[in-house]
Structure 1
Amino acid sequence: MFFHIKELQFRAKPEKPDPVYARKLQEVLGGQFGEMSVMMQYLFQGFNCRAEQKYRDMLLDIGTEEIGHVEMLCTMIAQLLDGAPVDQVDEAAKDPLIASVLGGMNPQHAIVSGLGAVPTDSNGFPWNSRYIVSSGHLLADFRANLNAESQGLLQVVRLYEQTTDPGVREMLHFMISRDIMHQNQWLAAIEEIEAIDGPIAPASFPRELTVEPATRQFMNFSAGEESSMGAWANGPLPDGTGNFEYVPKPQAMGGIPVLNPPADHQHSIPGTGPYVVNKGQL
């Protein structure tokens, strides 16, 4: 079960209303890498976790914290809309299209949610559960979590540069700090699991069934040769199974594909053997 306390994890109060910035904050609330996404991702990974108890507990700890971050953002968005200039709110209610283009305000804030946050991104696209990753494989999931925190932090830092409101910036200071912590957390968890199972996810597929040269070759499919200078083209493989090999001119190995036509009707075309066409084609 979950408990809710009335106090926010951190202060979320702007100095003055700003409906345009409220729309921008919707991205880190309900966008692909927003707080709603990481909240649901961590909670579902925790609910479904069959691994050692410490991983389940950690996932539910951070997932529950993200619920609080969603509340902080909703509170901030509502206050950025509260007391907004009447002309912006009225114009949005009269003509949402014109207001959204010229004023920059999300018209749904005035029309649908009564000057409150909505579970959408900054363009009004609804939050989608397909944003989240919960595969049941810890290493694969934790890497997805690291990506989510990296993209989320990038967006928050960009938003930080787009406001001078001291109250908004104060909240973003805290959120940026927590995103840094969470990236470190996932890096530590990934390192721990890699030390047990290695860096390849999943590690369960028998290596003797792979096309062994393909597991180490970096293939250059472009005109340049600069990619050959990277650690991904030379030196030891991170999984310890050998060394990278640089292939400057990969060769096709599969032959030219020949597909059977659809089987609606069969016709014999001289010189070609049986041939199939759709109804009405001949």
Structure 2
Amino acid sequence: MFRHQKELQFEVKVDGPDPMLARQLQEVLGGQFGEMTVMMQYLFQGFNCRGEEKYKDMLMDIGTEEIGHVEMLCALISQLLDGASPEDQADAATDPTMAAIMGGINPQHLIVSGLGGLPTSSTGVPWNGGYIVSSGNLLADMRSNLHAESQGRLQVARIYQMTKDESVRATLRKMLARDRYHQYQWMAAIKELEEKKGVVVPASFPAEAEMESQEQAYEFWNLSDGKESSEGLWATGSAPDGSGDFVYVGEPEPKGQIPKLSVPLESLQHDLNINKSFK
């Protein structure tokens, strides 16, 4: 059961209308790494979580918080759009730089949403469920969550530098702080799960099940010009689980065969054998 509370998690105010900033904020609302993505990702992971209840409870807590962040961004975008008009769209386009980068005010804010937030990115690409990860494997999912929060916080920080509106910045600082905590949270969950299950996903397919292929689990193949990649711990260090040492292969050779595929039936129209007359 979900219950809506009218008060926002944090105060949302603006110093004045700014339709261009409203368009930019659409990215952290409905873009690939926006609040809609983490909201749906954490909720679906929570809905589908099996076993250990503390992980399900944590996912539902954070997923529900993200619903609130979506509402906060919609409120922020709406306030930034207060008073916007079609004339503002034309005025914005008179600045060649702005027109080239943004194309003026987002016309959908005027036409589609009536000066409200939209489930789209800053360029109008609709949000879609393909952005989310909910695999049923807790460690794999938590790593995806850390990635999502890292990208999301990065984008909010960039937008923070794009505005001088101190009231908007105050709201963004709250979001940046929460995104920082969420990164800590996923790091803690990842560490705990790695200690329980090991660092490789899935733990249910152990290294010994790879049989003769285990050797390939430790080789770094140099497949581009230069050998700078040999300087990293991924090339000369030990595996994080201590199971072996990495080997740098400076001049790797292919180990497989040249594939030779059979010529398909003429009815498939591959035109590989056109000496016969058409039937």
TM-score exceeds 0.5: yes
1:171 aligns with 2:149: no
Q: Give the alignment partner of residue 233 of structure 1, picking from 235, 241, 260.
A: 235
Whether contact under 8 Å (1:262, 1:276) holds in the other structure is no
> Which one has the bigger helix percentage?
2
Structure 2 partner of 1:220:
222
In structure 2, C-alpha distance between the alignment counterparts of 1:192 and 1:100, rounded to whole Å: 48
Return the letter of the residue paired with 1:179. D
Counterpart of 1:180 in 2: which secondary structure?
helix
1:151 aligns with 2:151: yes
Whether contact under 8 Å (1:100, 1:107) holds in the other structure is no
Structure 1 position 104, deviation (Å): 2.1
Structure 1 position 51, deviation (Å): 2.5
Structure 1 position 242, deviation (Å): 0.8
Describe the shift of the 1:148–1:277 C-alpha distance in structure 2 as closer, same or farther (beyond 3 A).
Answer: farther
Match runs of 1:128-207 below 5 Å: 128-207=128-207
Structure 1 partner of 2:258:
256
Residues 151-208 of structure 1, C-alpha deviation per residue, up to 9 Å, x if partnerless?
A: 0000000000000001110000000000000000000000000001110010111423
Counterpart of 1:233 in 2: which secondary structure?
helix
Structure 1 position 256, deviation (Å): 1.0
Q: Which runs of 5+ in 2 are unaligned?
A: 93-97
Structure 1 position 2, deviation (Å): 0.7
Counterpart of 2:220 in 1: which secondary structure?
strand
Describe the shift of the 1:99–1:225 C-alpha distance in structure 2 as closer, same or farther (beyond 3 A).
Answer: closer
In structure 2, C-alpha distance between the alignment counterparts of 1:29 and 1:42, rounded to whole Å: 15
In structure 1, C-alpha distance between the alignment counterparts of 2:128 and 2:62, rounded to whole Å: 20
Counterpart of 1:218 in 2: which secondary structure?
strand
Structure 1 position 101, deviation (Å): 7.1
Match runs of 1:118-137 below 5 Å: 118-137=118-137
Q: Percent identity?
A: 59
Match runs of 1:65-76 below 5 Å: 65-76=65-76
Whether contact under 8 Å (1:41, 1:134) holds in the other structure is yes
Structure 1 partner of 2:25:
25
1:3 aligns with 2:26: no
In structure 2, C-alpha distance between the alignment counterparts of 1:224 and 1:205, rounded to whole Å: 35
Structure 1 position 213, deviation (Å): 1.0
Residues 121-169 of structure 1, C-alpha deviation per residue, up to 9 Å, x if partnerless?
A: 0000000000000000000000000000000000000000000001110
In structure 1, C-alpha distance between the alignment counterparts of 2:249 and 2:54, rounded to whole Å: 43
Match runs of 1:237-248 below 5 Å: 237-248=239-250
Counterpart of 2:234 in 1: which secondary structure?
coil
In structure 1, C-alpha distance between the alignment counterparts of 2:19 and 2:253, rounded to whole Å: 56
Q: Which moved more, 1:81-90 or 1:123-132?
A: 81-90
Return the letter of the residue paired with 2:253. Q
In structure 1, C-alpha distance between the alignment counterparts of 2:189 and 2:106, rounded to whole Å: 39
Q: Which runs of 5+ in 1 are unaligned?
A: 93-97, 267-274
Counterpart of 1:232 in 2: which secondary structure?
helix
Structure 1 position 281, deviation (Å): 8.1
Describe the shift of the 1:26–1:254 C-alpha distance in structure 2 as closer, same or farther (beyond 3 A).
Answer: same
Describe the shift of the 1:170–1:102 C-alpha distance in structure 2 as closer, same or farther (beyond 3 A).
Answer: closer
Return the letter of the residue paired with 2:266. D
Return the letter of the residue paired with 1:213. E
Structure 1 partner of 2:106:
106
In structure 1, C-alpha distance between the alignment counterparts of 2:257 and 2:117, rounded to whole Å: 55
In structure 1, C-alpha distance between the alignment counterparts of 2:118 and 2:169, rounded to whole Å: 21
Structure 1 partner of 2:95:
none
Return the letter of the residue paired with 1:208. E
* Number of residue pairs aligned between Structure 1 and Structure 2: 269
